Structure 1
Amino acid sequence: MSNIQSGNKDRLHHWDFSWALYLMLGIPFHAAVIYSLAHEWAVSSPDKSQVLTWLSSFLHTFRMPGFFLLAGFFSIMLLDRKGPMIWLKSRLFRLGVPLFSATLLILPFQIVVQSVALSVNGTLPWADLSAYTTGQLTQFGEPWISHLWFLWSLIAYCVGLAMLHALVGGANLRAALDGLVGWVTRNRIASFIGFAGLCAATAYVQSVVVAASPYYGNAVINYNAYILYFCLGVILFHSSKMQDLLVKPGPTAACVGIVLAVLSVFPYTDLLGHTLNVIAGIAGALLIVGYISNLAVKHFNRPNAKVRKLVDASFTIYLFHHPIIFVLATLFLLVNLPPIIEFVIIAVVAGVSSYAIHQLISKSSILSMMLGSNATSRSGRSLVKVTG
């Protein structure tokens, strides 16, 4: 049996490190993308930085893949135990309530701040600010999804998994996944060819969707791109071979993963280039996530009070760091500091402030339920309860 599942399955302390890390990396990612040359964020600075462009692009290659991999792993764990109906009802409540609450309490504030930022940087005349803000608040668009997209995606993935589990049965699903892993192990060349073909098909579909609707097409792709990692997490739970492979990458493999991740964000001009980008992105993400998993199993396989505190706070921190960064990025439009200095200030202040908000929210059971800070517990099952 793999190290991942050794001992009491309920007490998976070593995953707390990975869970907290992937969510907490949202802070430097969103603070860096303000200054990115590659992306025009909701609140962007006119002062760009190549270093921060690289940092934001690099973090993007593995942060959410790792999150959804763990989400798939623990989703199937609890689904097997509870059954599809009970499990899905729990998921819809634990994910849906924070999604609904944050949509009503956080996103309108962000929309207002984003509109003000446009006037501060001169893009939107101050005289038009009120009408523009009202329009943004009263019509559905990306600002009404924002950083909560992962909850929408996770809910959709959970619904799909529950339906599949109910249709084929847990035992049959487990047998099919075991058979798939066995076939891949015995037919590695054919498996790689199939994987490359799937990546080519994915690249082609992406190009067609984006060409049909650049704005909504990119949104559809971005919100559904992580289903692969969620599915890999499901397979991972049922396969000790896959679990052993996950925690195998060491520093050398991590370096290879970083190189592949960097290559995956290079611009491409044709379908072949796009396909190679997709292959490099997936392989790079898995190698980096594997190395993080390796570290987690080696160094965080027992209760750790400090890590547990971060895990308990991580979901609320993720919800609230985003609007705080919006405010700070808007304020920094009024001054002229080097991007790196602004980035450090924004990341530190956003991290400390959002943790302070968690501390306040955790004192109220109602607010904790609304904003997800009670989705974790102190029993060593925190990751299971949030993603499961």
Structure 2
Amino acid sequence: MTPHTAGAGSGSARTRIHGLDALRAFALLLGIVLHSLLPFAPEMPWLVNDTRTSPAAFVGVYVIHLFRMALFMMLAGYLGRMVLTRRGTRAYLRDRTVRILLPLLAFWPVSVFSLGVLATVAAAQGGGAAPEPPPSDAPPVLLMFTPGQLWFLLVLFEVVLIVLAARAALLRLLGPDRAGRWSARIGGLLAAPGGVLLAAVPYAAALMVQGTDPAQGINAPVTVLPEAAPLIGYLGAFLAGWFLHASPGSLARLAPRWPLLLAAAVLGTVSMLLPVAAGLPLAVGSGLVALTGLLWTYGLTALMVKVFSREHPAIRYLADASYWMYLMHLPLLVAIEVPLAGLDWPVAAKLLLNWVVTTALLLGSYHLLVRRTALGRWLNGPRRRPAAVLPTGSRGT
């Protein structure tokens, strides 16, 4: 998912969109913030529950959960088509296998399996009950090997396979030229002032298929088996990014609208937090949640592209480090929070201590063990010279 270069202007322009570096770092690091807030969010059972709670932590978790994964998937779709048009389908699939599927398998023992041990320790110290397996009809062996917080890698890989299969069929049916024109038209609609409404449709459909309270968002899968709601919702977000890339200059057209998009996202979020929102019919609630989440996604994308119009070395560094940081963060967060859970400290002090220690360990390990090593090349791909560019011309869908 590394945005080495991208076309922001016309189809012939070759210029890096530096805002995508910021967006990539933001989408992944926001997951770390979300998991750090969960111990303090009232009525949200977690691996370790702190004795101190905060309504602000609940609101923070709620808002981040609204859009973070849709934002990540839309960015993955935009960058995915960028890689495919530059390197071809086989190279793209090989790249996604190496950098998405294999890290899921390789990092699962330390990133996911270790959490059960930490949760048991937390329960023994009075920091909450050890987590029970989520209700599921799946065989127990599948629940034992849950993808945990790395579920998004599994869903993303499933989405990639679906998109590549559908693309191959459409290219045979329509031909590259017609398929390319249709892709550009869809991208143009998505980048239009009302395009966020179109982008929100799959997310709303996913919430209706799921059938639970839409305010909870799309539930993460608890096994490796494909589930309809995550696939529908995140396939839609991925395709939104895919088609936006197919329309030259789409992000440049979105960028000036960031204040309006984010203002609408805030209004939607406030309305969802009001008591009356709990009584909305499923279809209405699903539409409101989906639209609000995509407004955040569009608004933050537009803001990043607008603000980060030139290269910032610190942002580039964080973008490169963010994948490693996300893969390794949760055991650290939980291990640090376990001894803090019973202390009568302010929530802000506990969060600050956890953030400082976790960030120092994650960035330090990335710089020393990952950045200039084979591990870094595996996770982020080969580091390219700043002058390197990616073409933005369309190659079919």
TM-score after normalising by structure 1? 0.79
* 1:375 and 2:377 correspond: no
C-alpha distance 215-176 of structure 1, shift in aligned 2 (>3 A)? closer
Give the match for residue 78 of structure 1: 83
Q: 8 Å contact 2:333–2:354 — kept in the other structure? A: yes
Cα deviation, residue 158, structure 1: 0.9
Cα deviation, residue 237, structure 1: 0.9
* 1:327 and 2:341 correspond: no
Cα deviation, residue 149, structure 1: 1.2
Specify which of 94, 104, 117 is matched with residue 89 of structure 1: 94
Give the match for residue 27 of structure 2: 22
Specify which of 259, 264, 268 is matched with residue 251 of structure 1: 259
Structure-1 separation of matches of 2:90 and 2:245: 20
C-alpha distance 348-84 of structure 1, shift in aligned 2 (>3 A)? same
Give the match for residue 58 of structure 2: 53
Note the alpha carbon deviations across 1:55-81, whole angstroms, 9 max, x for none. Answer: 111122222222111110111122233
Give the match for residue 135 of structure 1: none
Q: 8 Å contact 2:255–2:306 — kept in the other structure? A: no
Note the alpha carbon deviations across 1:133-162, whole angstroms, 9 max, x for none. Answer: xxxxx9442873122111111111111111
- Please give the residue correspondences for 1:169-248 in structure 2 after superposition, counting only pairs within 5 Å: 169=171, 170-180=176-186, 201-207=205-211, 220=227, 223-224=230-231, 225-240=233-248, 242-248=250-256
The CA RMSD measured in Å over matched residues stands at 3.8
Name the aligned partner's letter for residue 23 of structure 1: L
Give the match for residue 146 of structure 1: 148
Give the match for residue 159 of structure 1: 161
Name the aligned partner's letter for residue 175 of structure 1: R
> Quick check: 374-383 or 104-113, which moved more?
374-383
* 1:273 and 2:281 correspond: yes
Structure-2 separation of matches of 1:301 and 1:34: 37
Q: 8 Å contact 2:53–2:347 — kept in the other structure? A: yes
The gaps in structure 2 that reach 5 residues or longer are: 1-5, 131-139, 391-397
Percent of aligned pairs sharing the same letter: 22
- Please give the residue correspondences for 1:236-385 in structure 2 after superposition, counting only pairs within 5 Å: 236-240=244-248, 242-264=250-272, 272-362=280-370, 365-369=373-377, 372=379, 374-375=380-381, 377-380=383-386
Q: 8 Å contact 1:248–1:291 — kept in the other structure? A: no
Q: 8 Å contact 1:43–1:329 — kept in the other structure? A: yes
The gaps in structure 1 that reach 5 residues or longer are: 126-137
Structure-2 separation of matches of 1:383 and 1:262: 41
Name the aligned partner's letter for residue 66 of structure 1: L
> Quick check: 65-74 or 295-304, which moved more?
295-304
Structure-1 separation of matches of 2:43 and 2:126: 19
Larger helix fraction of residues: 1
Structure-1 separation of matches of 2:267 and 2:331: 32
Q: 8 Å contact 1:97–1:369 — kept in the other structure? A: no
Name the aligned partner's letter for residue 375 of structure 1: G
C-alpha distance 208-298 of structure 1, shift in aligned 2 (>3 A)? closer
Note the alpha carbon deviations across 1:228-278, whole angstroms, 9 max, x for none. Answer: 2111101111124753553232334312212213434667556x5333333
C-alpha distance 199-92 of structure 1, shift in aligned 2 (>3 A)? closer
Note the alpha carbon deviations across 1:265-321, whole angstroms, 9 max, x for none. Answer: 667556x53333332333323333333333333332222211111112111111122
Total equivalences in the alignment: 363
Cα deviation, residue 90, structure 1: 1.8
C-alpha distance 319-203 of structure 1, shift in aligned 2 (>3 A)? closer
